[in-house]
Structure 1
Amino acid sequence: MSVFMTCFFIVFSYVSPNEKGITLIWVGFALTFYLLSDYKLVTSHIDRLAERGSFIILIYQYGKKEFVFWMICMSIFGLVQYMLQVVFGSFDAMMYKLGVVYSNVNNGEWWRLFTGTFFHSSFGHWIVNATTILIIGPIVCIISRVRGIGVFLLGNVAGATAALITANLSGMGDSYVGVSAGIYAMMGWFLCYSKINKTDVPSKLFYTLLNLIVLSILLTYLMMPKSSNSAHIAGIVTGLLSYFILPTSGKYVLSQK
């Protein structure tokens, strides 16, 4: 399907050249490369597909409470934002009072780097983050909910800080929203976990995760250029480092499930 879409976009761009068409071609190439490389990883050994199926079943069995936990968290984030927008009168007014507005943070209101990350620019933005966190959140929190939450919060602050520094250096942008850096932090943490604890996860899952993270960063850059990739990268780095700061105790790992 991705190959067909890429070919279609190539023909479309040839007939009617435009910047969006070129972007879609690159998106198609990226998706095709990811799918083909992961297909090769899974099918190169007869047991890998079964391993991944068993892993998904394990996550489904033991991750229900964690799924509900993150669903409640994201619902609270959305509901609180809605109520604050009603109280302050608009999204912009709420951001000025509580959000990560760079000028306010530069004036010493550093607490905004924490509170402002839970806001989202639109319902669509919230949906994307909610969907992603409902996938990665339960996996990480099965290993340890405390560490999962800690990594998520650290990633949010690190992402907002990276976005602030980037904006100060480039002079572009005036605010930051979203928990995507925290999500990337959890992905980075689990990436490290899957590399070190190879017997706990399906074979070659590390490479699938690595390719997925690279693909996600690339697609965000291509399709949402206004998004802060520096925040996403900071989130990933925070997650990787957090594994060694907040490692598993060895008493609660996936292999014991």
Structure 2
Amino acid sequence: MFIRRESFQQYIKMYPVVSTIIALNIIVYLITLIPDTGIEILYKGASVNGLIAEGEWWRLLTSMFLHAGFLHILFNMFSLFLFGPELEKIAGKMRFLTIYFLAGIFGGIATFAFEKDPLYASVGASGAIFGIIGAFGALLYYMRHVMPQLRQIILPIIVVSVIMTFLQANINIMAHLGGLVTGFILGLFYFKPKNMLRWRQ
């Protein structure tokens, strides 16, 4: 399910939304490596609670395309590369986009609501990626009796992801959990059998 065997060209053609998001993240990351300019972009786009409170709400979106170092973007983009295509294929382009962006935004809102330090700052796409994982959790909920093998694939991913959220240093826990819950709720609506039946009419 999450093993990618496509060539580079096939991957781009089959999963244009995931490919575009990955490309945008990489481009923005490369720009942030430019001396002075990169620091300015990080400052202008990072999710900073105090600045969001002053009305700079765009940071909830822009922070999703910024990363704090090579390993940070490598891990996030590899996760998106691995898990994104299957959800884009199952949910469709627009539903995938709503899951991805709403999970990322609500992960940022959860951070803003629960992290009271006005200087608390965060960047990264992990809240959106956790939304993808949450959506798969909803799919598992509906398909648990029809496709019991899904539990062996999806459940360990969810459990390990949540555990690692609490074990790793410098992790925005609220963004991860907020994204996970948002993705799950959207998935419950999108993957409801009667809704999925309408897609094919």
Q: Same fold (TM over 0.5)?
A: yes
Q: Which moved more, 1:205-214 or 1:128-137?
A: 205-214
Structure 1 residue 87 displacement after superposition: 7.9
1:209 and 2:154 aligned? yes
SS at 1:225 equivalent? coil
Determine the structure 2 residue equivalent to 1:233: 177
Distance 1:66 1:182, change over 3 A: farther
Distance in 2 (CA, whole Å) between partners of 1:241 and 1:125 is: 27
Determine the structure 2 residue equivalent to 1:184: 130
| Identity of matched residues, % | 23
Of residues 155, 160, 163 in structure 1, which corresponds to 2:111? 163
Distance 1:60 1:225, change over 3 A: same
Distance 1:221 1:244, change over 3 A: closer
Determine the structure 1 residue equivalent to 2:77: 130
Distance in 1 (CA, whole Å) between partners of 2:154 and 2:165 is: 16
Structure 1 residue 107 displacement after superposition: 0.8
Distance 1:228 1:56, change over 3 A: closer
Counterpart AA for 2:140: S
1:242 and 2:186 aligned? yes
1:112 and 2:56 aligned? no
Distance 1:113 1:239, change over 3 A: same
SS at 2:101 equivalent? helix
Determine the structure 2 residue equivalent to 1:220: 165
Structure 1 residue 173 displacement after superposition: 5.6
Distance in 1 (CA, whole Å) between partners of 2:182 and 2:68 is: 23
TM-score (norm 1): 0.65
Q: How many residues align?
A: 192
Determine the structure 1 residue equivalent to 2:120: 174
| Alpha-carbon displacement from aligned partner over 1:74-100 (angstroms, at most 9, x marks no partner) | 122221243255385343x22322221
Contact between 1:195 and 1:206, CA under 8 Å: does it hold in 2? Answer: no
Of residues 3, 11, 22 in structure 2, which corresponds to 1:74? 22
Contact between 2:127 and 2:179, CA under 8 Å: does it hold in 1? Answer: yes
Can you give the 5+ residue segments of structure 1 that lack an aligned partner in the other structure? Answer: 1-54
TM-score (norm 2): 0.81
